[in-house]
Structure 1
Amino acid sequence: MIIAFAGGVFGYSAMEREMFPVVKVSGASVSVAWNGASPRDIEEQIVARIEEAVASINGLDRITSVASEGMGVVNIRGRDDIDMDVFLDEIKIRVDQINNLPQAAYRPQVTRWEQRNWFFGMVVHGDVDQKTLRQIGKRVRDDIARLPGGELAVMQGTMDEQVSIEVSEEALRRFGLSLNDVAAAVRSTSLNSSGGRIESPVGDVSLMSRNIADSAEQFGDIIIRQTSDEGTVRVSDVATVIDGLVSDKLSTTFNGRNTIFVMTPEPDQMDIPSYAKGFRDYIERANDPANGILPEGMKIDILWDDSKTFDARMELITNSALQGALLVMLVLVLFLRPVVAFWVTVGIVTAFAGAVMLMPLFGVSWNILSTFAVLLVIGVIVDDAIVIGENIHREVESGRRDGLDAAIVGTQMVMKPVIFGVLTTIIAFLPWAFITGPTRMFTQQISFVVVAALTFSIIESMLILPNHLSHMKKQEFGGRTGRFMSMQRRIADSMLWFANHIYKPVLEQAIRFRYATVAFFFSLFAIAVTMQSTGIVPFKFMPEIEADLIQVSIEMPDGTPYERLLQVRDQLQNGVDVAKKELSEQYPEVEEGLIRDASLIASGRQVQAFIGLIPPEERPESIRSKDIAEKLRAATGAIQDAETIEFAFTFNEADTGVQFALSHPDLDRLREAADYLKAHLATYSEAYDISDNLSSSAEEIRVTLKPGAETLGISLSDVSGQVAQAYYGIEAQRNPRDGEDVRVMVRFPESAREDLDSLETLRIRTADGREIPITQVAEFEFAPGINRIIRRNRMRSVTVSAEIFGDGGRGRIMGAMEEDFWPSFRQQFPDVIRGEAGGFEEEQRFFSEITRLLLIGVGAMYMLLAVAFRSYSQPLLLMMALPFAYCGAIFGLAVSGVPMAMFAFFGIAAAAGVVINDNLVLIDYVNRRRDEGAGAVQALVDAGVSRFRPILLTSVTTFVGILPLMAERSVQAQFLQPMIVSLGYAVAFALFVSLLMVPALYAAGVEVGRIFRWTWGGKPYRQIGEGYTGQVTLDEEALMGTSQGGHGSAPAQPAE
């Protein structure tokens, strides 16, 4: 025990502390930049070639690609059982072997997928310009990166720095220059170079040229041309040099002030409470003007801090566990003895300490899921100790044995059911440790904790607990504690009285009407299955884990003007203000308001927002993050031209919607099929935010040569190249600045790049120095274009998605579409390939795999029990716990209004472990009585009455152990409800299965066997229960007589 406690302290100190385990996904991305290239060119000349190269890699799962303007990305997902290092090396080899990528394209970049949870976010804000804000934000990010846990801190909500040398067409003509001339001058003048070393007698001297330009003035002083006629022509003579950001079309605000974000993902070694405290201390110092960290008028605020939620969840689970342990101890004190209750409770703590010692070896961190597993297994651990402690207590109180002899014999009598009960429970949880996919990191955490705790529980209950109870003496009722002990004994005896006078007659009737009893319970099971299949108890794969942050994402069509983006931003900000005011009026008791702050980003074609809320524990119980998100959505109003609108309010991004992937080579055909599907989804009242990810049509200008242009020495390559130089720009060089690369771009001024008429004034420069108006050699045509092409498994694809109101709505819609919609869709679009995408696809894969693994587990459980009981039929009887634990869980979820979720299966598995243990204790006793010559009915009644107390106590202690959490109504407890409700109700329901249905089924099995032997074996048939007289052949009355004067036991009954 000392080793377990010491190891537990060491294991806890060695464990990481994090909100959730990091999800590892096998895969990599290949990205290739090709400046100015259209999505179609990117698709045909880059993406398709990379897909072809990697398509035959061993271990490949699927390929998804995106071709957009100037960039192609190929996402390569591997199977979860692959060696990721080998997979990544093979991708790099295949990509390096591609030799026909465009010459103008950059070298392909292969990046391994790495998913880290963001655990801390802060905003740096003030009334300064974007460039100044970026410099201050960068300094803050560097400070955070030097703190423990902040080494991966990144800056977001800003553009990269860039030097833009803007030359007008008029200036180029005036000086007879081209954009290439300006870029060449920059490259040849702004540089650092080494000239070697002079090894002189007095020492070595390095020869260096340091002339790299680093400011607008220095770039402006660069000489482009110098002649006796024209004099010196500098960059500043022909261009305007802007040392700024890549674009000014970016808006980031925090409560209306310019801001920049500093986000911190989890490092490899995580300790969320201490890391977050270090960040908070830094923010406090930075906001103090006396420290001089921030300029005047600047401030840092916390955007989110997961350590607060972590602490709240840990406090909830810890308090519930302590309350549950006290309730368990109280029950044991009342129905056994205080000394037994005390050592059983100590045994629970010992088993947990041993489990904590092993957890780091399994790679388990201290997170919400692992502590959740501690609660899950408490009922199973206490069962072993109760069964053994109760049996030792029985031996001592009966007077048959005392001391060490009672401890040894009492343990040996129930050793078999206890050991095999633990082993079957371990088998029930082990399959969850072997599933693949992103869900693995969640299920493994729970499985490993349960297995570790059960391993130590069997050691503690078999070796440590008997040693402690070996000092237990027969109960005495004198002295100062005599009155309390007499009262406790009367309470304990009441259970034995109940077993003899209430339960025994009921059990006899259940055995007498055994077929009706069995039929009744199986009809309940059929009802439970129907309740789930019809959606009465809806299913949700992952329960929502509410956050104190609402994330809003609004995507506009490609080509949306920046001014329209700012209008949407303002509309969202107004919605925040309106919702904040309405909530303050509705809940005046919350002084600071439910909405704490709002950060908004507008850039490209997207508006994002981070809406900070006060923590759930500081809100009225009736208000959840989901309610505030719906209020915010309503206050924002409709945005008719938005492609997608999303309000996320959970940590785990619970997928409640539907997604369908459609594939076809023709984009027009895809668009037609997507519209048909969206029109059908709109007919469901539960569906909203229906959208697809096809790029909206955008006009493009197509340039073609006029006849005879080649005779002037101009090719289409010359024209398209010089157009790209003018409007995209020439990257003259990349200069290092503060650890980052700053691009130096030479191009037309922004006013010309935003004006269609400027294209007609462009001159094409020939090799011999002539300047020819572009309108003489080329013509322009407006045509529909596309800004993004998405591919799935080497074919163009579109994903149609819709959010669904209510729990279980997705299942109903999917079922209805399978029956009513997809047959007609296949008739109308036979050439379109259909598939599920997103969360539903992962769910299907998960359930397919876990079903296979659970069947293997059930088979292993059956073989283990068959060997233990040397029977093929009794394991089936014992395993009745599995379907009826499910049955009880379904009824409990229906009564509580909680949807079925993946975590509910863990509660069912834990309940099944409790009930299998009860069945083992019961049937093992029946077998021993049968071996002594008792008849079937006599053995069943003897076993039921004798084992009533340990069976009832195991179920009651499991139920009361989780009762505090089941009664908890706070937001923090909601994500645990599916597991807690399933475990509690499954154990309560399965208690009746063990005490009534299992004996009835056993009796029915004996009778069927006799009929079979009489029919086929010619043996005489004997009616079951012939020799049963209604008396219990046990010494329970002697146990009760310790405090009430009872005595004696009935004589043994003849075998039937």
Structure 2
Amino acid sequence: MRKITKYFIDNSFIVNLLSVMMLLIGAISLVHMKRDLISGWSAKRITVSTSLSGAGPAQMEKFVTYPIEQAIKNLPGIDKIRSNSRTASTSITVEVKDEYDDILELEQKIKDAVNNIRSTLPSDLDEINIQQTKMTESWFSNYSLLNFNEEDQNHQRWFYKFKERLKNIQGVARIQDDVREYGIHIRFNLESLARYEIDINTVYSIVQESFRLFPIGNISKGSKDYLVEFETNEVTVEDIGNIILRSTTSKKTLLLRDIATIEKKLPKKTYKEYTNSSPSLSFTIFKDMDTDTISLKENIEKFIEEERANLPQGVEMLLTGDGPAFIERQINALKSNSIFGVILVILTLMSFLGFKTSLMTSFGLPLSYMFTFFILENMGLKIDLISIVGMLLVLGIIVDDAIIISEQYTQNLEKGMKPKEAALEAVLKTWMPITGAVLTTVVAFLPLLMSGDGLSDIMMAIPVVVISALGVSLLESFFILPNHLAHFVKVAPKHHESNFFHKLKDIYMKTLKQVLRFRYLALVSLVSLFGFSIFFAQKNIPMNFNLNISSEKIRVVTVLKHSESLEDSEKQLAPLWKELSEIDKDKFDYINMAIGYVWESGKSKNGPQYGSFTVRFSQLDDNIEANKKYVEDLIKERIKKYTADPKDSIFERIEVGRRYDGHDDDQSNIVNINLSSSAPFDINEVSSKIKKKLSSYDQITSIDLDNSDFIDTWTFKPNKAEILSHGLSIRAVANQVRTFVAKTKVYENNSGPQTLKVYAYSEEGDNQTIETLKNKHIILSNGLKIKTKDLGTWEVIRRQKSIGHENLKRIVRLKVALKKDVADKEKLIHNFENDIKSIESEYSYLTITTKDADEQAQKNKSSMFKNVLFAVGLIVFILAIILRSIVTPFIICSAIPFGLIGIIWAFYFQGLKLDIMAFIGVIAMAGVVVNDSLLLVDTVNSSRGKKKYIDLETLLTDCAKRLRPILLTSITTLGGVFPMAYGIGGDSGFTKPLAMSMGWGLLFATGLTLLILPAYLLIFDDIKKLFSRKKDKQLGDTEIEDENLDQEWPEFEHQTSIPKNKKANTTELFQ
């Protein structure tokens, strides 16, 4: 260490060249790095999906879902298999164990297993898609088209061309829109079918055959080539109508238009939207993960501005969701807060170290950051919210090692050493504790980097930034800083401690004396406070482990008691829409009303009774948080009259709350009671018993079997003998009945920008009842007709709309909604389990489990607690290696619970939730707070020398010596995070809890470290003395006199330097 440090001190050219190169390559990397919300990620999840037109949920389960589940259930690496069988489709999700890394191999094994059973699955099953869940694109922005008329061909043509031009912008991955597409609809005339004695299956086959491609080939003759091909029909109403179904030798033909009406029209509208009081339709832009978000925003804004001139008359285009603006707002706020942090750090250094020394010390900031950019770019990471959080997190920590070396360098100059010698000795004396201090912070973040779960994938940039920046800072402090100090700070700056600092030191020493005198009372009090704080936090501080990194909106969800149609719902909602539209428009960006659907609890609920109102806010509004509160409070006040009398209210339910974009399925206050069984059971009976058991809990707002999961099924039970006797097949009957219920897609043309689909049907399904279906006619091959009720029986059966599986068992969920202020959700879940356990024993094959509905949040919670525990364990391990002691690392780590006390009460009094970012702040705090304790213990150990016990006067002197550097390192760290915590440079959004936990934890821990840690050292000495006395008694020796208890408490005199007769020793502690 001596040789390499001396080499860099003596070679300024090498040092300066290295510094310039690090800054240069960092700057180049920074220019080329892309900006985004978060980096791309891939989940440990594989999905299997397919569809089968016309199949019901039970049929999909029996013939598709269950066989696939059986085929893959024993593959290695699978944690859970979940599936959802719905009408005409099924989706199977395979969750992979965290420790299983070869996802691609498992994906291939699933494909092989499915291919092996493909011949046993229905022959007309669509392609089976198997793929790993990856983030290949991300939401970018939303636009609304006001007064857009889907039935106007000019509007349609403009929109198709507009989409094509928009897709051509580099970086645009996909455009999703709500504009209905025209299709060609073939409506059969049953009388004509009977008259011409032609069945529907034959018609389907002929229509599909008409559009089929028949490749022939090509012929080469000499220098010429000739292509031979069969011409196919064009997809137009006229061409489809002219399809020949039958032809005789006398040239008489039966055309499709002879038995059906063919027209081009829009599908039925199932929902309505209004934006700022105008009817609207929306489209969403998704970007690929490799494009710079801010650059893409500029390109799209320029394109949209040019397109406004081409809008059809009366149509307006309104930006209703600005993803880049949210990113810009967050990044700008973080930048502003970081600037304030840098200013505070530099001012703090100047006030303690002087101008030149502080300038040399702060040089590590740009050097560390720039080289970190180089590392990030080469690891494929971006400048996003996560990486910037890491940079802010280390802002005040980076200079800690430089501060310690600068302080030691100054003391060496005061002793009369020459600059180069002073710089060399400063490094040699402090490199071991500095390395230990840096390592404790580095290992604190290793679990977050190496845990391998989904959360670590998203958060990877934070530990990478922290480890990289601290590593570069450590090297800069050992090899670059000493050279700069030796050449630019040749005279020790004069210490002019202010009267304030003198008074502070006096207060500290008086307080410390009292704490040491009553050290056991202090120990008991602090342990009691810690235990009470943990207990209090569990009861009163809510936790949220969802990672919400997106803009926030206010949403009103409405469910009407009765509604016959969209028009009926619109009429009922008109008074509320009018009131919401009258809110001061300066307070928000726009307001939207949607009728006919709502996205809740992870799924879409459709029907005219469902509606929602969404209020969005401009991300460029400096008063965005105040305006959100104003609008939310106003809406809550205005809807009171609609819920005052539930009996007279038109609403079955109306709720107001905040939601994040992409998180409308928030389930943070939902508990799922899962009923799984391999045999049938009465769902309503079991749910009634569960509701009765849980009726006494006042924290519960509702317990529901979601009615949207069940549907009245009109089930036809065919009489096979009767069907066969008429020359029919069950398939033929089913296909004819289907024409009364749904439209069958017989062809899809994708040859142009517009996808044109061809549908066939006999009647609109919306007009049917079970009685009309009983009397519908089936056409026989001879042209005669017979009613469906003569070929079988119709029954109404209540069945699941979708059938869920978990690990191959059917599962039904009861959703228990809790009040928003419930803090101890886990205890409630445990109580629920105990209360309903007896119900399970009443049913042979029934299993009842109670789980948090927000499973991802639970996984994140488990991951964060595991990371915190591993971080503390690694910190203790590193300290044990450095100190060569088992007990002392635990004494040093007592600073961590000190910090937790401060975090708990800071969050409680400020009304904050403990979330993922708060726990990352806890990890950072744990890695940092032990540094001051380590340095204090190292100083005490050095002063003690080879003495068996600590001398009280020396302990007080050492604490006084360490007060200044401990305060300096703590203040610089606090200066780096508190601007972000309190949004001095702009609201820091989702990063605020991180800054809060780190800041308040460090602040509280620093105070208690200075007071309680010395008491712990004396208590440890007391314990050693106690055991020593017992040992001496056993040996018959005289008792050892208690030096500390009998000595007089010394008067403290201010000291600003380490006594010359004391030599540091970092490897000998309390042996």
Query: What secondary structure is seen at the aligned counterpart in 2 of 1:378?
Result: coil
One of 613, 616, 619 as aligned partner of 1:613: 616
Query: What secondary structure is seen at the aligned counterpart in 2 of 1:56?
Result: coil
Distance 1:1002 1:708, change over 3 A: closer
Deviation of 1:922 after TM superposition, in Å, equals 0.9
One of 488, 491, 496 as aligned partner of 1:490: 496
One of 120, 128, 132 as aligned partner of 1:100: 120
**Which position in structure 1 is the counterpart of 2:540?**
536
Alignment of 1:958 with 2:959, yes or no, is no
Query: After superposition, what is the alpha-carbon deviation per residue over 1:369-411, rounded to whole angstroms, capped at 9, x for unaligned?
Result: 2212222222322322222222222333x24324122222223
Deviation of 1:538 after TM superposition, in Å, equals 2.7
Partners of 1:830 and 1:703 lie apart in 2 by 30
Partners of 1:623 and 1:160 lie apart in 2 by 42
Deviation of 1:423 after TM superposition, in Å, equals 0.2
Between 1:430-439 and 1:969-978, the stretch displaced more is 969-978
Deviation of 1:97 after TM superposition, in Å, equals 1.4
**Which position in structure 2 is the counterpart of 1:141?**
163
Query: After superposition, what is the alpha-carbon deviation per residue over 1:192-246, rounded to whole angstroms, capped at 9, x for unaligned?
Result: 5333334334612112232322211121122223447894332222211122345
- TM-score normalised to structure 1 length: 0.88
Query: What secondary structure is seen at the aligned counterpart in 1 of 2:335?
Result: helix
**Which position in structure 2 is the counterpart of 1:58?**
76
One of 970, 975, 978 as aligned partner of 2:993: 978
Alignment of 1:670 with 2:683, yes or no, is yes
Between 1:348-357 and 1:304-313, the stretch displaced more is 348-357
Q: What letter matches 1:461 in structure 2?
A: S
Alignment of 1:74 with 2:92, yes or no, is yes
Alignment of 1:1007 with 2:1022, yes or no, is yes
Alignment of 1:998 with 2:1001, yes or no, is no
Q: What letter matches 2:162 in structure 1?
A: V
Partners of 1:617 and 1:13 lie apart in 2 by 25
**Which position in structure 1 is the counterpart of 2:463?**
447
Do the aligned residues in 2 keep the contact of 1:54 with 1:91 (CA within 8 Å)?
A: yes
**Which position in structure 2 is the counterpart of 1:204?**
225
One of 935, 948, 954 as aligned partner of 1:921: 935
Between 1:375-384 and 1:663-672, the stretch displaced more is 663-672
One of 9, 27, 48 as aligned partner of 2:45: 27
One of 147, 161, 170 as aligned partner of 1:126: 147
Deviation of 1:798 after TM superposition, in Å, equals 2.2
Q: What letter matches 2:447 in structure 1?
A: P
Query: What secondary structure is seen at the aligned counterpart in 1 of 2:130?
Result: strand
Distance 1:317 1:71, change over 3 A: same
**Which position in structure 2 is the counterpart of 1:214?**
235
Distance 1:1034 1:339, change over 3 A: farther
Deviation of 1:918 after TM superposition, in Å, equals 0.7
Q: Identity over aligned residues, as a percent? A: 21
Distance 1:669 1:206, change over 3 A: same
Matches of residues 564-583 of structure 1 in structure 2 within 5 Å?
564-568=565-569, 571=572, 575-581=576-582, 583=583
Query: After superposition, what is the alpha-carbon deviation per residue over 1:164-201, rounded to whole angstroms, capped at 9, x for unaligned?
Result: 21112122123333223433442344455333334334
Tell me how large the CA RMSD over aligned residues is. 3.6
Between 1:810-819 and 1:196-205, the stretch displaced more is 810-819
**Which position in structure 1 is the counterpart of 2:8?**
none
Do the aligned residues in 2 keep the contact of 1:600 with 1:610 (CA within 8 Å)?
A: yes
One of 647, 668, 671 as aligned partner of 1:659: 671
Query: What secondary structure is seen at the aligned counterpart in 2 of 1:439?
Result: helix
Query: What secondary structure is seen at the aligned counterpart in 1 of 2:120?
Result: coil
**Which position in structure 2 is the counterpart of 1:517?**
522
Deviation of 1:880 after TM superposition, in Å, equals 1.5
Matches of residues 340-355 of structure 1 in structure 2 within 5 Å?
340-355=357-372
Partners of 2:411 and 2:667 lie apart in 1 by 53
Distance 1:1035 1:884, change over 3 A: closer
Query: After superposition, what is the alpha-carbon deviation per residue over 1:727-773, rounded to whole angstroms, capped at 9, x for unaligned?
Result: 44554433333156543233214389646666456443445665445
Between 1:19-28 and 1:914-923, the stretch displaced more is 19-28
**Which position in structure 2 is the counterpart of 1:91?**
110
Query: What secondary structure is seen at the aligned counterpart in 1 of 2:26?
Result: helix
Do the aligned residues in 2 keep the contact of 1:887 with 1:986 (CA within 8 Å)?
A: yes
Distance 1:39 1:648, change over 3 A: farther
Between 1:318-327 and 1:183-192, the stretch displaced more is 183-192
Query: What secondary structure is seen at the aligned counterpart in 1 of 2:991?
Result: helix
Distance 1:1024 1:472, change over 3 A: farther
Distance 1:281 1:368, change over 3 A: same
Query: After superposition, what is the alpha-carbon deviation per residue over 1:991-1035, rounded to whole angstroms, capped at 9, x for unaligned?
Result: 223212111111111221122122125465231427966669999
Deviation of 1:452 after TM superposition, in Å, equals 1.3
Do the aligned residues in 2 keep the contact of 1:156 with 1:262 (CA within 8 Å)?
A: yes
Distance 1:678 1:258, change over 3 A: farther
Aligned residues: 1017
Between 1:1009-1018 and 1:985-994, the stretch displaced more is 1009-1018
**Which position in structure 2 is the counterpart of 1:1042?**
none
Deviation of 1:136 after TM superposition, in Å, equals 3.6
**Which position in structure 1 is the counterpart of 2:904?**
890
Deviation of 1:813 after TM superposition, in Å, equals 6.6
**Which position in structure 1 is the counterpart of 2:24?**
6
Matches of residues 656-805 of structure 1 in structure 2 within 5 Å?
656-660=668-672, 661-665=674-678, 669-677=682-690, 687-688=700-701, 691-693=704-706, 695-705=709-719, 708-725=722-739, 727-728=741-742, 731-738=745-752, 742-750=756-764, 754=768, 759=773, 762-766=776-780, 771-805=785-819
Q: What letter matches 2:337 in structure 1?
A: S
**Which position in structure 1 is the counterpart of 2:659?**
649
One of 883, 897, 901 as aligned partner of 1:869: 883
Partners of 2:657 and 2:500 lie apart in 1 by 57
Deviation of 1:304 after TM superposition, in Å, equals 0.8
Q: What letter matches 2:178 in structure 1?
A: G
Do the aligned residues in 2 keep the contact of 1:959 with 1:988 (CA within 8 Å)?
A: yes
Partners of 1:880 and 1:31 lie apart in 2 by 52
**Which position in structure 2 is the counterpart of 1:600?**
594
Between 1:72-81 and 1:774-783, the stretch displaced more is 774-783
Deviation of 1:669 after TM superposition, in Å, equals 3.0
Between 1:733-742 and 1:13-22, the stretch displaced more is 733-742
**Which position in structure 2 is the counterpart of 1:547?**
551
**Which position in structure 2 is the counterpart of 1:42?**
60
- TM-score normalised to structure 2 length: 0.87
Q: What letter matches 1:44 in structure 2?
A: K
Q: What letter matches 1:426 in structure 2?
A: V
Distance 1:761 1:191, change over 3 A: same
Partners of 1:197 and 1:629 lie apart in 2 by 70
Deviation of 1:811 after TM superposition, in Å, equals 2.1
Do the aligned residues in 2 keep the contact of 1:144 with 1:153 (CA within 8 Å)?
A: no
One of 416, 425, 430 as aligned partner of 1:414: 430
Query: After superposition, what is the alpha-carbon deviation per residue over 1:883-911, rounded to whole angstroms, capped at 9, x for unaligned?
Result: 22212211222232222222222222222
Alignment of 1:379 with 2:399, yes or no, is no
**Which position in structure 1 is the counterpart of 2:626?**
623
Matches of residues 202-601 of structure 1 in structure 2 within 5 Å?
203-227=224-248, 231-255=252-276, 257=278, 259-288=280-309, 292=310, 294-396=311-413, 398-471=414-487, 473=489, 489-492=495-498, 495=501, 498-499=504-505, 501-533=506-538, 535-542=539-546, 547-550=551-554, 563-568=564-569, 571=572, 575-581=576-582, 583-584=583-584, 592-598=586-592, 600=594
Deviation of 1:648 after TM superposition, in Å, equals 5.2
Do the aligned residues in 2 keep the contact of 1:1036 with 1:1049 (CA within 8 Å)?
A: no
Distance 1:932 1:458, change over 3 A: same
Do the aligned residues in 1 keep the contact of 2:402 with 2:477 (CA within 8 Å)?
A: yes
Q: What letter matches 1:147 in structure 2?
A: I
